Amino acid sequence: MSADPAILTEPGPEPDAQGAYGTDPDQVADLWLAAGADDRPLLVMLHGGFWRPRTDRTHTRQLAAALRDAGWSVVVPEYRRLPGRPDVTTGDVRAALAALPELVGRRPSGVIVLGHSAGGHLALWSAAVAPVADLRLTLALAPVADLVLAHRDGLGTGAVEAFLGVGPEERADLDPVRLEAPSTQVEILHGALDDVVPPAVSVSYATANPRAGLQVLAEADHYDLIDPASAAFGRLLDVLSQVA
């Protein structure tokens, strides 16, 4: 793997607040609250890590803080990552999205669901199956958008089957590319240099769902898409500004 995953371990600032959407220790969320952002949609960020327990939401703190500083309020929910129990994970995503008004203390003026890698998979799944109320945009960054293709290519050293507990053909209900296309706007950013989740995975999704927008960023790898110090951050802000 040539991509440098330093962003996964570099410390980030503490969130402005935290909330809970359930009783399990992982049913919590970090809140990054931008002043004067009430007229902008709320960003809900679903973190990646190939659905594995070892990677939690803390690696998103640099990106969340940068988005807050750019004028966006951000909620980063944790979710349970139990190998072979994908419905626990998707159930947590449903519950976190449903709890948004309580988490932020107000009813958001629109919602954008943003997900990276496995979080991008969850974002696209949610947009097709369980979209949040007043969803304005689903923005997937290097998403694992085709589970069959990702499994066939062995991404994440067998991450897809480890997540599902079965082969992906048996869980078409969790595979974004095989679900009915979302009725709301979907945009995808993917790095051309990504060797963790290759761009072909997003191309497969965009081919099946031609209304989805796909931008392949020439100089970006898998982790540039969540690194606010990279040029990809400007492209991310450009997409968000289209719905501001």
Q: How far is CA 95 from CA 22, 80, 88, 236, in A?
A: 8, 12, 10, 26
Evaluate the CA torsion angle 131, 145, 42, 135 in order and state its sign: negative
Model-level pTM greater than 0.75?
yes
pLDDT at 1 over 80: no
d(CA 94, CA 231): 32
In CATH, which superfamily holds the domain spanning 6-241?
Alpha/Beta hydrolase fold, catalytic domain (3.40.50.1820)
> According to the model, what pLDDT value does residue 204 have?
98
pLDDT tens digit sequence for 208-219:
999 999 999 999
pLDDT tens digit sequence for 63-121:
999 999 999 999 999 999 999 999 999 999 999 999 998 898 888 889 999 999 999 99
The 10 Å Cβ neighbour count of residue 92 is 21
pLDDT at 4 over 70: no
Average pLDDT across the chain, whole number: 95
d(CA 217, CA 189): 7
- Of 88, 64, 62, 66, give the one whose Cα is nearest residue 75: 64
Spatial contact of 138 and 126, defined as CB atoms under 8 Å apart: yes
d(CA 31, CA 239): 21
Can you give the residue ranges of every domain in the chain?
6-241
